[in-house]
Amino acid sequence: MSKIIIANWKMNPQSPKEAEKLFSSVKKEAKNVKNTKIIVCPPFLFLHLFKKFKHKNISLGAQNVAKETEGSFTGEISSKMLSSMEVSHVIVGHGERRSMGETNEIINAKILNLLKFKIFPVLCVGEGNRDKEGFYLSFVADQVKDCLKGVTSSQVKNIIMAYEPLWAIGKDASREATKEEFMEMKIFIRKIISDLYGSKVAHNIPVLYGGSVNYLNAKSFIEEGADGLLIGRDSLNPQKFSAILNTLK
Ligand code: 13P
């Protein structure tokens, strides 16, 4: 399986010019990577800039989508609109969106919509804190089960899972997860999917790690067994992003 590296630009950068510059640097770097698929997720507003600007190792992703298909939903963007921009992947259930009130039920509706339009959902799950009793495991199990409701076994093959513990995300992160914490979760997520869809299907679902990934820790997550990485801050800095890609060569 080739590795999946997702650049989640979040609400950055602030102008189309800067976005083009950043994308060009990724494009340059992408020429040298092997067995790696890079998915760049800019803000909606900049997607059109990159529709015709891609590279064989780069796909275009979005950071969110509406749960409805069309109609009077001020400020929303539909799966069909994203498909018309040649967006192939969409991040759903990101911790930062969950903290704005997005529930598993809403995320589930988004996933079902994306699948109808043949867009790959990148489903983020992760706990807010790790309690000693292990309740975080049932919390993540519920996220996986509730978000995949109604997804058929042929559709689930198109889902990418990302484990992003909330305590490891963004500039206020306390720390990144350890390789062992990630692997425990990868096995656990695969087990839940296996209970729902069978072990063969579960085995082929990529499970990525996200949360304070940088060039110092990227390789160790991949070596430990991550199928890819979901990168926030360090995807905004061409040198840092290129250093991450270089460690994976
Ligand atoms: P950071 O890499 O900035 O911690 O962000 C992780 C993330 O939220 C990616 O989706």
Q: What averages of pLDDT result for each successive group of 10 residues across the chain (249 residues)?
A: 95 98 94 92 97 86 98 98 97 97 98 98 96 95 98 98 97 92 97 98 97 96 96 97 91
What is residue 1's predicted lDDT score, i.e. its pLDDT? 77
Check 29, 96, 102, 164 and give the catalytic one. Answer: 164
What is residue 52's predicted lDDT score, i.e. its pLDDT? 80
Task: Give pTM, 2 decimals.
Answer: 0.97
What is residue 19's predicted lDDT score, i.e. its pLDDT? 97
What is residue 170's predicted lDDT score, i.e. its pLDDT? 92
- Among the listed residues 187, 101, 175, the one whose alpha carbon sits nearest the alpha carbon of residue 140: 187
- Among the listed residues 113, 188, 192, the one whose alpha carbon sits nearest the alpha carbon of residue 158: 113
Angle made by CA atoms 214, 220, 225, in degrees to the nearest 5: 120
What is residue 160's predicted lDDT score, i.e. its pLDDT? 98
- CB atoms under 10 Å from CB of 61, counted, come to 24
- Among the listed residues 229, 246, 233, the one whose alpha carbon sits nearest the alpha carbon of residue 6: 229
What is residue 156's predicted lDDT score, i.e. its pLDDT? 98
94 in catalytic set: yes
55 in catalytic set: no
CA 162–ligand 1 middle distance (angstroms): 11
Pocket test for ligand 1, best of 99, 124, 164, 209 (most atoms within 8 A of CB): 164
Cα of first residue to Cα of last residue in the chain, in angstroms, is 15
Closest CA to ligand 1's atom 2: 232
Q: CB within 6 Å of ligand 1 — which residues?
A: 8, 94, 164, 169-170, 173, 210-213, 230-233
What is residue 231's predicted lDDT score, i.e. its pLDDT? 98
DSSP 176: P
What is residue 182's predicted lDDT score, i.e. its pLDDT? 97
